[in-house]
Amino acid sequence: MRVGLVGVGLALLLATPVVAALALGVGPVTAFALTGAGLAAAHTAVGWVLIPQLVLAVGVIALLAERLAARAAGLPGATTPRWLEPAVESALLLGMLGTISGMVRGFAGISPEDMEPGPLLHALGTALRSSFLGFGIALVGVWIRDAGPGLEAAT
């Protein structure tokens, strides 16, 4: 029963962007292409840091979905996994590393005479999204850790 609830929760979580895109009139092929283009742009700006951040995000979101599904079903929550604390710390550090890497890429090769604000601002904005993602992952992870196995603190 528990695995079924977690599966339903994850399916709903994954379906939300698809349903939103379809409601806006964006077809699945276009949505997939836009998602790929967005990930490629983020990877270009931030670099390899994006990949472990996404892995950490999936792990933390899956744990959150499991906890919420267990709570909704009235099941006792599992103990907090040992990987959560290092994942929170890694998310913060990867976010900062991605931001620094993106800023270096944004400023690399620019002389004061040739500086155009548009591309530089775009690169810096994309780089700062790395910190945003890292801090978001860490925030959810800390909330899960501090709320305990059954998310009792959320009530």
Q: How confident is the model at residue 75, as a pLDDT?
A: 81
Cα 36 to Cα 33: distance, rounded to the nearest angstrom: 5
> Is the pLDDT at 85 greater than 70, yes or no?
yes
Q: Note down the domain range covering 39.
A: 2-154
Instruction: Read off the pTM.
Output: 0.62
Count up the domains in the chain and report the number: 1
> Is the pLDDT at 131 greater than 50, yes or no?
yes
Q: What is the DSSP string of 41-66?
A: HHHHHH-TTHHHHHHHHHHHHHHHHH
Cβ-based burial of 1 (10 A; exposed 0-12, middle 13-18, buried ≥19):
exposed
| Mean pLDDT for the stretch of residues 3-19 | 61
Host H or E run for residue 7 = helix 2-23
| Mean pLDDT for the stretch of residues 2-8 | 55
Q: How confident is the model at residue 149, as a pLDDT?
A: 53
